[in-house]
Structure 1
Amino acid sequence: MTRVLGHSATSGSARERLIQDFLVAHLPEMTNIVSGIIIDSKGSRSKQQDIVLMLKSMPRLPFTSDHDLIFQEGAIAVFEIKTDIRPSTLNDIARNIESVRKLSPTSLGGARIGSQKWPHARILSTVLTYGGSPLNSIQKKLSSLSALGQPDIYLDLTKGILIKNEGLLLDHTSHEPYLRFDSPAIGLARLLVSLSTVTGNLILRDINWEEYIS
C-alpha cells in the first residue's frame, strides 16, 4: 500500500502510521502511542522518536503534527521505523537509541503489578524495518555497536527478528549477543509477546516534579 506513494517522506509517514494502528489494535490499553521527543529533568532531550509507547497515567506536552514532548518517566518503549536497513545505516540508529538511554529519571522508586522481569525504569528500544540486509549481517553489525546503542529488538518484516540475549525478554539459550528467529511470522509474534510483557502491567512511578522546574 505504501509503495504507491512516490514521495519518500510521505511513504515513511504512512509506514509509521500503519505500525501505530497495528500497535493500538493489539497491545494492552495501558499506554498511549505517540511520536515525539523524550525529555528528562536535567534538560536533556532524545532525538525525534518515530513511535513512543507512554503510560496513560503520565502527562505529556502535545504539539502540532502529533509530535509531543514526553517525560522520561512516562516512556515505556520507543520504535525506529525504516523502509530498508543496511549495516551502514545502523550507526545513525544507534545514536538515536543512545539519546534515549542517556536520559535519567528523577527517581527509581515506584511499584509494578504484573511481570517483574523487565527493569522498572528501562525504556525498551525496537527497530522495525520493512526490508533490509540478511539477519546475520545485521546481527554482526549490532554486536559491534556500543552497548548503549544496541536495540533490544530488531524486526525485519521480510526476514525475522533479533532479540537482545540478556535473559529479560527471553531466557538465555546461547552465548550470542542476540537470539535470532529466521521467520517474519515468529518475529511478529515475538514482538507482540515482548511488548505485552513490558506494557501489560500496572506501573506507578515515583517522580520528583520539582526537578523539572528547578
Structure 2
Amino acid sequence: MKPLVEYCSGAVRSLSAQYEMTNVLGHSATAGSARERLIQDFLIAHLPEMTSVVSGMIIDSYGQRSKQQDIVLMLKSMPRLPFASGHDLIFQEATIATFEIKTEITPATLEHIASNIQSVKALKSSTGEGVQLGNLSWPYRRILSAIITYKGSPLINIEEKLSTLPESSQPDIYLDLTKGILIKNEGTLFEQEGENTYLKFDDPAIGLARLLALLSKVTGRLVMHGVKWEQYIL
C-alpha cells in the first residue's frame, strides 16, 4: 500500500470515529455543524498554504449571490467580507472550490444539494484577466464543486441520480467516507474513460487520496485573478 493511501485509510477511520463522537450532541443542527467543522479542519491541515478554507455565500459583480455554502476554498491573495458568525461573503473571482458536507445522502436528497451547486455555477466573473503558473489542466476560471458525506446510498445509485441532473447541477466530485468516490468523467480531472458520467472508485481510502490529489492540482497553482472592482460598486 502506497504511503498516501495508507495515510488516508487511517484518516478515514479517524474522521469516522470523530463523526460517531458527535452523536452524543443529540441535536441534529449542532451535530451537523460539528461534522462540517471536522471536514473543514481536515482540509485546512492538508491543503497548500495559498488557500483559505471558509464558509458563506459567494457574490459576483452583477448582484447575484449563491446559496449558503458549507465550505469554500478561496485564494488568500483575495479579500472577503467577513462576519463574526463565520458565514462570510466571498467574491466570485476569489473562489476556487465549494463543498457540501452531509451526514447522510440518498438519491432523493440530492436535489437540494444540486440547487446549491447550480447557484454557484450561475455566477459570473467580472473579467477573464489574470495569470496562473503550475498545473494548467484545470480550467482557469472554473470553480470546482464537491460533495462529502459520512455515509450514503450505494455509489451506483448516487451515480444514476447525478447523471439525470442538468450539467450545471452536477458536482465534479462526490466522496462517501464509507463507500468511495465518484469523479466527473469529462477528461479534465482524469483522462476520460468510456461514456459514463462519472468514474467510480469503490474504496473510501482511495477516494480520500484521490480527493487530496485533485485538490492539490486545483489549489497548488499560483493564480492571480483580475477583478473589475468598479463593477462591485456601480
TM-score by length of 1: 0.99
- How far off its partner does 1:5 sit? 1.6
Pairwise mapping of residues 108-187 of structure 1 onto structure 2 (< 5 A)? 108-187=128-207
Pick aligned residue for 1:7 from 22, 27, 35? 27
Q: CA-to-partner distance for each residue in 1:168-193, whole Å, 9 max, x for gaps?
A: 11111221110000000000001001
**1: CA distance between counterparts of 2:24 and 2:205?**
24
Structure 2 residue aligned with 1:47: 67
Q: Which amino acid aligns with 1:47?
A: K
Partner-residue secondary structure (3-state), 2:31: helix
Question: What amino acid is aligned across from residue 80 of structure 1 in structure 2?
Answer: E
Q: Which residue of 2 aligns with 1:34?
A: 54
* Residue 80 (structure 2) aligns with: 60
Which residue number corresponds to residue 113 of structure 2?
Answer: 93
Distance 1:121 1:177 in 2: 22
**TM-score, scaled relative to structure 2:** 0.90
Q: Deviations over 1:29-66 (max 9, x none)?
A: 11110000000001100000000000000000001211
In the alignment, the residues of structure 2 paired with residue 37 and residue 6 of structure 1 have an alpha-carbon distance, to the nearest angstrom, of: 28
- 5+ residue gaps, structure 1: none
Q: Give the match's secondary structure for 2:58.
A: strand
Query: Of residues 203, 207, 212 in structure 2, which corresponds to 1:192?
Result: 212
Secondary structure at the aligned position of 1:112 is classed as strand
Taking the aligned partners of 2:128 and 2:108, their CA distance within structure 1 comes to: 36
Which segment is superposed worse, 44-53 or 167-176? 167-176
**Number of the residue aligned with 1:72:** 92
Alignment coverage as a number of residue pairs: 214
What amino acid sits opposite 1:196 in the alignment?
S
Flag as ranges the 4+ runs of structure 1 deviating above 3 A: none
Instruction: Extract unaligned runs of 5+ from structure 2.
Output: 1-20
